């Protein structure tokens, strides 16, 4: 186990605890603690270089809905086999009271934000007539950041993936 505490701050507005938190991991008793110091370094870079500038841009709390994921948690959630979440390089987030599509578009065009992937995601559940929107953003600390942006919209069994952020 690493010598880090959950209340360690990774940046002024983001703690290690919120980057490791997972309702699914808690409910299923899945260990979601990193075992490699590079994961902590990656999370710190993600928070400092990407999430803090976003927090300053919106001037509101950025709510992390998914940060680091252990391999077991990522598998259970159906994440990509090489998901950047498992390396501490990605986070999904929302911001209350902010149009998430418009924010994603603003981030896509911000030439100062060194992101690897920026994905605006929208999931509509016809059975409940509800829609969830969030942003997935990643950053590579020790590798080239590709500045890839896309939009993923799901409705029932349909999935539409578009290059770039589509409002």
pLDDT of 1 higher than 70: no
Is residue 66 within 8 Å of 153, Cβ to Cβ?
Answer: no
Can you tell me the mean pLDDT for 56-79? Answer: 95
- Looking at 10-166, list the stretches that DSSP marks H as alpha helix, in order from N- to C-terminal side: 16-20, 23-28, 37-45, 52-58, 71-77, 100-109
CA–CA separation, 72 and 5 (whole Å): 21
Q: For residue 5, what pLDDT is reported?
A: 66
Q: What is the pLDDT of residues 92-150, one digit of tens each?
A: 999 999 999 999 999 999 999 999 999 999 999 988 989 999 999 999 999 999 999 99
Q: For residue 6, what pLDDT is reported?
A: 60
Cβ atoms < 10 Å from Cβ of 93 = 20
pLDDT of 7 higher than 90: no
Is residue 58 within 8 Å of 97, Cβ to Cβ?
Answer: no
Find, among 140, 136, 110, the residue nearest to 123 by Cα: 136
The residue extents of the domains of the chain are 14-163
Q: For residue 12, what pLDDT is reported?
A: 94
- pLDDT, averaged across the chain: 93
pLDDT of 3 higher than 80: no
Q: What is the pLDDT of residues 13-27, one digit of tens each?
A: 999 999 999 999 999
DSSP conformation letters of 87-130? GT-EEEEE-TTS-HHHHHHHHHH-TT---SEEEEEEEEETTTTE
pLDDT of 164 higher than 60: yes
Q: For residue 8, what pLDDT is reported?
A: 87
Residue 66, Cα to own-chain centre: how many angstroms? 6
Q: CATH number for the 14-163 domain, one of 3.30.70.20, 3.50.30.60, 3.30.1380.10, 3.30.360.10?
A: 3.30.1380.10
């Amino acid at each position: 186990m690493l010598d880090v505490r959950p209340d360690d701050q990774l940046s002024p507005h983001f703690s290690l605890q919120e980057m490791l938190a997972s309702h699914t991991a808690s409910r299923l008793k899945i260990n979601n603690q990193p075992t490699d110091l590079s994961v902590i370094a990656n999370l710190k870079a993600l928070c400092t270089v990407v999430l803090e500038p976003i927090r300053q841009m919106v001037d509101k709390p950025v709510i992390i809905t998914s940060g680091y994921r252990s391999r077991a948690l990522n598998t259970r959630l159906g994440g990509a086999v090489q998901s950047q979440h498992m390396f501490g390089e990605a986070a999904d987030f929302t911001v209350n009271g902010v149009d998430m599509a418009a924010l994603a578009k603003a981030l896509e065009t911000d030439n100062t934000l060194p992101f690897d992937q920026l994905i605006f995601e929208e999931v509509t559940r016809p059975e409940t007539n509800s829609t969830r929107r969030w942003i997935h953003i990643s950053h590579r600390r020790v590798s080239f950041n590709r500045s890839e942006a896309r939009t993923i919209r799901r409705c029932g069994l349909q999935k539409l993936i578009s290059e770039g952020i589509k409002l």
